[in-house]
Amino acid sequence: MLSSGKQTILAALAISSLFAASCSPGKSSSASIKDSVNTTTADSVKAVTTVARLKNINYIPNELGKVMVLEYHLIGYPEDRWRRTPENFRKDLQMLYDNDFYPVSVLDIAYGNLNVPAGKTPFAITLDDSSAGQFRYIEKNGQLVVDPNCALGIMEDFKKKHSDFPITATFYVLPAIKPTLRLFAQPEYKKQKLEWLVQNGYEIGSHNWYHSMLSKLSDAGVQEHLSMFVKEIREFLPDYEVKTMALPLGMHAKNRALEVSGEFEGTKYNHQAVLLVGSVSSVSPYSKDFNRLAIQRVQAGEHTENPETFMKSQIKHKTRFVSDGDPKTISAPEKLKDQLRPGLEKKYNVKWIKEEAELARK
């Protein structure tokens, strides 16, 4: 499997063939970011560290295991490197459901606010570029309805059939790109679609004003493009706060601090999470290595580094995140003690688990 750096570069080069982005390169001072993750919970709890014995259960909690943030682009025909057919998108959801995954939001992962049933593994869905195949209206019997074969229609149908699988997703949209990718490619319904998503529990995230590579922009240019995204979205959703951003082509700004916050002509932006281009599964949000300003994603598709590949590997090697069912407790195998982010034991109960087989040998 390719290294994370090589995967990001190859993915960026491949995605770039889909776009003709205009950029304004300029000089910029680089800045390093040390992520200070907000580790507060709704109700702070006194730190308790224990070693628990588990018996008569068919799973072992591991909340220091890996999670997947899935990355989709086009939904349509034919299946391709950057396109998933409706049938295969349905297949992906069924695979996740059948293998005890549980949908959460990007922000839930970013801040470790994971209220996930015991034995389940959290995951998030992201869709980049706002093409029509992600959200399309059609007429049926004289009424406007969501196309059952677009990504949104497929997710809504799956959710109705599986009440224990509350699907949500973040749509990383483009407000000023070519018409086929501009806010779902039905201009007469732009406002209606954005309102529908927000009213029904989906998130709208920034994918830049028109998909320009931040690495080629000056500091002023980065702030202009990210602020203009906010300004244009607020034309449709005046009170909406854009909280997350997916890097166009996976390329960082020279000054990475400007990916998080900045201002242009009185419009400000403040991103609480920044997403990269796949394909790599993310470490647990409780891990010392987790960075909410550089969240890894797994790109869906029939290629080698896809969600099914990562899932099988994580099941085989017991490296996937498995919930203990208690959002106020972090449970994980005792051998992973050194992976816990320092300070979390002040906010959560922490349970280090010894499997029965290990205890029997002692």
For residue 286, give the CATH number of its domain.
Answer: 3.20.20.370
Map residue 128 onto helix, strand or coil: strand
pLDDT tens-digit series, residues 46-58? 344 555 544 445 7
The answer to the question of residue 94 being in a domain is yes
pLDDT tens-digit series, residues 162-208? 999 999 999 999 999 999 999 999 999 999 999 999 999 999 999 99
The answer to the question of residue 181 being in a domain is yes
The answer to the question of residue 294 being in a domain is yes
- Structural element, H or E, at residue 196: helix 190-199
Q: Which domain holds residue 194?
A: 55-360
Quote the pLDDT of residue 139. Answer: 96
pLDDT band at 100 (very low <50, low <70, confident <90, very high): very high
For residue 115, report the phi and psi dihedrals to the nearest 5 degrees.
Answer: -95, 80
| Cβ atoms 158, 106 nearer than 8 A | no
The structure's pTM equals 0.85
pLDDT at 19 over 90: no
The answer to the question of residue 32 being in a domain is no
What's the CA gap between 78 and 83, in Å, rounded?
Answer: 7
Q: How many domains does the chain divide into?
A: 1
Residue 196, exposed/middle/buried by CB under 10 A (0-12, 13-18, 19+)? Answer: middle
The answer to the question of residue 184 being in a domain is yes
The answer to the question of residue 47 being in a domain is no
The answer to the question of residue 3 being in a domain is no
Quote the pLDDT of residue 16. Answer: 45
The answer to the question of residue 22 being in a domain is no
pLDDT at 26 over 50: no
